[in-house]
Structure 1
């Protein structure tokens, strides 16, 4: 068991380690994302979001719109330039050279750009938009050559211009065969797939290529080295390797430390946990004694040792639980004994009237010629016994209905004093003294159900005291409770009878006595009072007994 607890601690700390690892990875990712939010991280300006774009467009003191150096550099490295336009297409600001700047874009211009995969637009606030026009140096050179009068021939000046940019002009037929090259640079002729590469991210291309299909079906191409070529180079890879090795070593040491620490924690705290588990195991076997472990407890005072005092509240709770379980076990055994005694008495109560009914029925069935008066007497006794059995069974059923919330309580707001006086007029007794009309105390009760409570409580006081014993009914107010007290000046009752008076399984009187009633009256009274949200209690001494019913004042 101790080893299982130790392994559990190891598992907990391993989860803790994983949490740290995941958190550190997330932090690195968040830092990386934050770093990439700057324009210096964009190799393709088209990937920038509107928020980032707008943060790099400012206005000077004269109201002119200016692009930040970062956004202009990103546009240049992406192979083009930026132009800020209003909703009419007028150019407000541009990062292009003077010769390439536009003053206005028309509907036709936008339509032509829609077919150009290199163009991109961001719709900004206040009816402004930002255009990215892809136009590399190779595009400019190709346009210069194509528009010259000597084309397709290349002049010496054009060759020098190509030399300055380290560019080469090439001409291909419709089949992709090289027809002409301005200079032999030792490179292979292009194929269709390499022309398609022109649509990829510019920073990832070693060469910048511009191409155009001419009217005769040939294709003119200008290719030149990419000045902004920025691959994921070896230096960065080596840096990442070292970084990952460092992270692995750090987490390896951290993992080793956590394992050692968790083993120590498991040994230190596993012993008291194991002790408490043995205690709980004993409780499950209904063994409420103490678990002896001198390594946990001091022999002198029985308290936990100082290093285990962190568990003192748990220890006290378990001791209290053991005491409560032991007490509940005692009460359960007592209740079980009371239940058996009650069943025995109930069997007797049913058997006695059944014996009378059976005896009289046998007598009536005999051939003896009974007189009409005798038959009437027999029938009366049989009816009386049958009524008693019916009442007993009904009361027993009623207690179980109340226990399982099977009785509907129809609550009304009632003035208790008036209700008691109406009840007093319905019963015929001179020994019960009801209160005089006084202050009004309203309670929420079901009149029909509460009448039965009064019948049972007052009837119990009359039945179990000598004839003529005075009985007093009083109403008082105590804080938020209305107290209805039924007090007699009788013989009182023993502490055992007081403790079990409202128990369904307790019979406080001899079942062989000639008293009428089922013995369930006060049990039903208690259940009905509690169904009203109230409380009932009993107090008794040599001068009499008082049953107090508490109802919420409304």
Structure 2
């Protein structure tokens, strides 16, 4: 996507998010409102229609018919019991611990009148809700005690106390003359006329009757299922309004902060880009990390600045390319200086020898014999040959360093191919069927250098072992000799010598570049070489990745 499209998409997404936040705030407010009301307002069983319970009220388990669990809980919350009748008026199931209607006749059940009773007709069955109240049992026992003119039993008084109930006697003038239990505010006679089917709207449960002496018995207690609608509704409305307007206030602050943030998202990156360009003009190619727009740990752009990632990546690539070009120029200059210095240094000694012998031969002060001239000529030829080999190796090393040598890989079966290096001193061991993808001529030069070097520094009568095996990750070649070992200070720079230095007197046939060229050839194959050495000998290990 083009940057202009991304920019347009970014602004559209901001407005969509803003709109979604408004909708989400409104929905969350409604959810809180509904949860608050649901937790504090009772679920009136009388409001259920037959269609609501018709399909789910009865559970059939084999031959057993049961009232559904949700209706059991609904009846318990409404302080009552449910009875399930069939067409023959038989009680099929009921809720609660006791069955109040089980001992009644059909006539007694039909004559039963109790505030809050409700029935629902279903196919094959009828469902009856019968309110039960703790105040009813206390009222019945109290009326019996008063009718029989007995003392109140301790069991009844304990029930009154446990339920915070009150037994009150009002005279014919409606003066409260006696109170047993809790002492509540005096009732007025019209309050006894109050009656409601909604158990949750009654703060207090009351039962009353007129006694023989024209006084009135009242038994009253708090309603444990009291859940009025009006008070929670008012509180829920206050919460709803608070959340709604509070959320919009927060949203307004968020919009202001977002506006400032949006402006920062475009100003800061532009300043950063201009500073990067200024650094490039001053040949400063270091990668810049601005803590305001980059993560401190990863160095990547922060999420809100991802729009400028292509620009940042382009600047990084440009910096890397310019820095790489500058490094290549410096490396080329350094390599040229090393090549010229090494060449002049390594040519100086053999040239001095050639010049000295040629001067001696040209001298007229002494007549040289044929044998002496032959020795001088052989020495001069050896020095010239060494100079030619040195120039060739230096040129080849330069070509390898600049990747001017191309590989022509073929598949080599090392079990048979390595046999060309076997002789009375070199033993070849190949474990399994080892196949290596490599340039045959270059691999031969690698092994020639290493095996010749090992034979050169291995005492006569000792063995050089060349092993090859295919591990899980690579082809591994090992060259082991039993020489005196290589000093540690020379091991550290063993593959870094590009010329022989001053060591040109020990063997004119070698240029001192063999191991350096060997490592370059192995690097060209994407392989590795390592060496370990002690007084018992030296081990070279070559590893080539499986193709």
TM-score by length of 1: 0.41
TM-score by length of 2: 0.41
